[in-house]
Structure 1
Amino acid sequence: MKIMVEIIQHLKPGGIEKLVLDIMRLQEPEIQVYIVALEGEKLACLKQWPTLKGYQDRLIFLDKDPVFKLSTIKRLKKVLTTLGADVIHTHHIGPLLYGVMATLRLQHMQHIHTEHDAWHLRDNKQLQMTKLMLRLNHITLVADADTVGAQLSQILGRGVKPVTILNGIDTEKFSPSLSHSRYKHNIRIFRIGCAARLVKEKSLDVLIKAIANIPDVELYIAGDGPEKKSLNKLVLELDLSTKVKFIGYTDDMVGFYHQLDLFVLTSSNEGLPLSILESQSCNVPVLCSDVGAVHEGVCQHTGHLIRLNTVNEFHIAIKAQMKRTSEYYPRDFITKHFDIRMMIKAYNQLIKE
């Protein structure tokens, strides 16, 4: 049996975190997966995200401070040697740094690193650190979309050619509702949803402004984060308290998608977000900012892309979607290209015998 350790920054509800949980849950029997979170304390994380309780025996928390700590490298190395890890899989720059430093002298251990976007490499410090880490160790670099892979090659240079493995979701879990009725204009409220961390990069102010003057619409926002206070203030200023609902974090994302007629993502920066794959797998069409690799995950027959941060274009597109019908179902596109079982098999092909 192979031991694979997924190393992430923290275990707060989010796209990467859900991804590694699904990898652990659906991995093939001959590979046992553990998750190491650099930051966070176990009891606090379990309380914040109750789903984790079912997997707590394979979750390890290093409770790292936000600043760089040599002691975390030592702790991580001890964890990896104790588990007898054969493969580590890191996500983003923090886990990459600690993963490389902890395995420098562990020649038998394979290192796979996935970049989920390239926009963070605009920061020169992060760019130089990533280049250094890739030179220090023999690392299999993976991009989660073709666009991300092309951007990484351009930014990192020196012949860097990442392997592209598309993000995947559990399409068996995210399936359509059997009872959701198709929206008919002026018969009931048109329900729009977004699931995201409430951070500036998600540009949720654009979405709130876009629905302001559209009648018979409600907006449901799932998630939490530092921008919640300012977004609530905007809702009050626009007198939208009856139309915009902040529902916080929910463990029942399938149920969330089932109540929607449209999923809208207004992000200013993205890689290939899982939320648009999940919603379309539930047969909910999407309307998204045309950023990062988002276009790769949008069904061309039912979804639409909008220029970045254009409130008026989102406003017009939402109104058009309320009148639109289609003979196509976005789920067909997702099951064909983005099932997580295909993703796991592709990663497993990278693991050395």
Structure 2
Amino acid sequence: MPAKNGRVRVLHCIQNLNYGGMERVLSDLVRGVDHDAFEPHVLTLQYRGRYGEGLDGHATLHDGPDQGPLAMIQPVQLANAIADIDPDVVHLHSGVWYKAVRASRLAGVPRVVYTEHGRRPPPEALLTRVLDGFAARVTDHIVAVSEATSVQLQDGPKVPAERIHVIPNGIDTDRFSPGPSTFRAAHGISDDTVLIGSVGRLEPVKGYATLLRGLRTLLDRADVKVPVHLVMAGDGSQREELEALAGTLDLCGHVTFLGWWDDPEGLLRALDVFALTSVSEGTSISLLEAMSTGCCPVVTRVGGNPHVLGDELAHRMVESKDPESVGAGLADAVIDRERRVADGDRGRRRVNDVFAVNRMVEAYSRLYTEQ
């Protein structure tokens, strides 16, 4: 496609750049593309957030315009903002599809790419299906981050399978690699404690109430002879509720709520087990990062999780919304150290082979430029 000044100008459009897997993917794409071939821009419709810090060294950042009450019907202000940037490609991310694709078409953008990073479990609201169905019809390339997400797009807004590209998320496997960590010493956690961790937004879709109840089930087992501790990194609307539940379950000495955590590598390297108890998931960045550092995964059988684990780690799957299943899965990892370590090594190899960030960047680069 024709490019400006010899480079293809790609504008990413997203709600914000606060902590989350989708936001991490955008950051990695902007940092990872060939800057001799692409000129990245990022437009945030709400605010920038933590992943915006330092990103201006890799892309031109833009704040979204104030939008009136009719913005969903006729997003003129957003269209004008996009036209002023004058991109060759607009890459939309979950949460902005309908409004931003309309604005992109009003602005005369030649190519629009949309990535569905993960949808809520069915049933979806009728309005969501209708709006996304319209958006799909005027989007050039639609990307799902997992096969399961692709099926959701086919079932919800009825996107034909042949119009969907599946591009799994990728992570920097050099940055997220096994190594020493000061996390345990800083938090008074002994080396003989089996440290379980999770990283994510404290929201209902992440199923953290099930994780806490599963931990209680684990601790009540007579065959668990080692000390166990759970650390939860992240924040969200459920934090107070989850802290109260931990108190009700008498877990206060066994769980630490860290809030947002600025050293994910150090945290993940300290863990023995990574727990992901979501009720819906695309391709979890946190799970990929944990496996890349050598953590043994215990994750729910939803969304893209089975593909991330693959056949070799399928025995580490547990059932969503089922504390007994989660507790049993955690217990298996806690009790059998040799198998836990071996599965951590298997996970590291799988992420290296299938989910390295360069694969993701190359796949999107082809979408930006293919005729």
TM-score using structure 2 length: 0.84
Partner of 2:39: 32
**Partner in structure 2 of residue 346 of structure 1:** 363
Question: How big is the shift at 1:300?
Answer: 3.8
Q: 1:38 to 1:342 in 2, by over 3 A?
A: same
CA spacing shift, 1:202–1:118, aligned 2, 3 Å: closer
State the 1:347 CA deviation. 0.9
1:310–1:157 CA distance, 2 compared to 1 (3 A)? same
| Secondary structure, counterpart of 1:336 in structure 2 | helix
Structure 1 partner of 2:207: 203
Tell me what 1:144 maps to: 145
| Paired AA for residue 341 in structure 1 | N
Deviations 1:119-177 (A, max 9, x none): 36722111110011222x24211111122213322333363420111111111211111
Residues 9, 37 of structure 1: 8 Å contact kept:
yes
Query: Equivalents in 1 of 2:100, 2:270: separation in Å?
Result: 41
Mapped pair 1:154 → 2:155: yes
1:183 paired residue number: none
Deviates most, 75-84 or 5-14 = 75-84
1:167 partner SS? coil
Contact map agreement 2:195 2:271 (CA 8 A) in 1? yes
CA 1:331/1:79 → structure 2, altered by over 3 Å: closer, same or farther? same
**1:118 shift after superposition:** 3.8
Spell out the pairing of 1:1-40 with structure 2 (5 A cutoff).
1-29=7-35, 30-40=37-47
Corresponding pairs, count: 339
Counterpart of 2:256? Answer: 245
| Structure 1 CA distance for aligned equivalents of residues 154 and 25 of structure 2 | 24
**Offset at residue 63 of structure 1 (A):** 6.5
Q: Could you tell me which amino acid in structure 2 is paired with residue 203 of structure 1?
A: G
Which 10-residue stretch deviates more, 1-10 or 107-116? 107-116
Task: State the partner residue of 2:305.
Answer: 294
Residue in structure 1 matched with residue 274 of structure 2 by the alignment = 263
Structure 1 segments, 4+ long, off by >4 Å, are 63-68
Could you tell me how far apart the structure 2 residues matched to 1:58 and 1:251 are?
Answer: 24
Map Cα deviations across residues 209-236 of structure 1 (whole Å, 9 max, x no partner): 2112526111000000010011111111
Q: In 2, are the aligned partners of 1:120 and 1:126 still within 8 Å (CA)? A: no
Does the CA-based 8 Å contact 1:39-1:64 persist in structure 2?
no
1:309 and 2:318 matched: no
CA-to-aligned-CA distance 1:181-231 (integer Å, 9 cap, x gap): xxxxx9711100001101111111111121125261110000000100111
The residue type equivalent to 2:251 in the other structure is L
Runs of 5+ in structure 2 lacking a partner?
Answer: 1-6, 183-189, 220-225
Partner amino acid for 1:26? G
Aligned mates of 2:68, 2:175 — CA distance in 1? 34
Distance change in 2, residues 1:90/1:321 (3 Å): same
Contact 2:65 2:77 in 1 (8 A): no
Q: What secondary structure sits across from 1:151 in the alignment?
A: helix
Shift of 1:68: 6.0
Percent identity between matched residues is 24
Cα distance in 2, alignment partners of residues 236 and 264 from structure 1: 20
- Separation (CA, whole Å) in 2 of partners of 1:282 and 1:67: 46
CA–CA distance in structure 2, aligned partners of residues 288 and 79 of structure 1: 41
- Residue identity in the other structure for 1:28: D
Could you say what the CA RMSD is over the residues aligned between the two structures, in angstroms?
2.5
Contact residue 39 and residue 63 of structure 1 kept, 8 A: no
State whether residues 67 and 75 of structure 2, in contact with CA within 8 Å, keep that contact through their aligned partners in structure 1.
Answer: no
In structure 2, the residue corresponding to 1:171 is in which secondary structure?
A: coil
Cα separation, 2, equivalents of 1:22 and 1:172 = 13
Identify the residue that residue 127 of structure 2 maps to in structure 1.
Answer: 125
TM-score, structure 1 length as denominator? 0.88
Distance 1:89 1:189 in 2: 44
User: What are the Cα deviations for residues 284-332 of structure 1, in whole angstroms up to 9, with x where unaligned?
Assistant: 1111111112111114434611111111111111111113324443111
- Determine the structure 1 residue equivalent to 2:111: 110
Relative distance call for 1:158 and 1:293 in structure 2 (3 A) is closer
Structure 1, unmatched stretches of 5+, are: 181-185
8 Å contact kept, 2:153–2:159: no
2:227 counterpart residue number: 216
Between the aligned partners of 1:66 and 1:271, the Cα distance in structure 2 is 32
In structure 1, how many angstroms separate the alpha carbons of the residues matched to 2:76 and 2:111? Answer: 18
CA contact (8 A) 1:285 1:302 kept: no
Rate the CA distance shift 1:222–1:134 in 2: closer, same or farther, 3 A: same
Aligned to 1:52: 52
Cα distance change on mapping 1:24 and 1:238 into 2, 3 Å: same
Separation in 2 of the partners of 1:11 and 1:64?
18
Rate the CA distance shift 1:314–1:131 in 2: closer, same or farther, 3 A.
Answer: same
- Report the CA distance shift for 1:166/1:67 in structure 2 as closer, same or farther (over 3 A): farther
Amino acid at match of 1:128: V
- Cα pair 1:290 1:305 within 8 Å, conserved: yes
CA distance change for structure 1 residues 62 and 254 in 2, over 3 Å: closer, same or farther?
same
Deviations 1:50-95 (A, max 9, x none): x533124722222768976369933332332222211011112x41
Mapped to 2, the partners of 1:3 and 1:97 lie a distance apart of 22
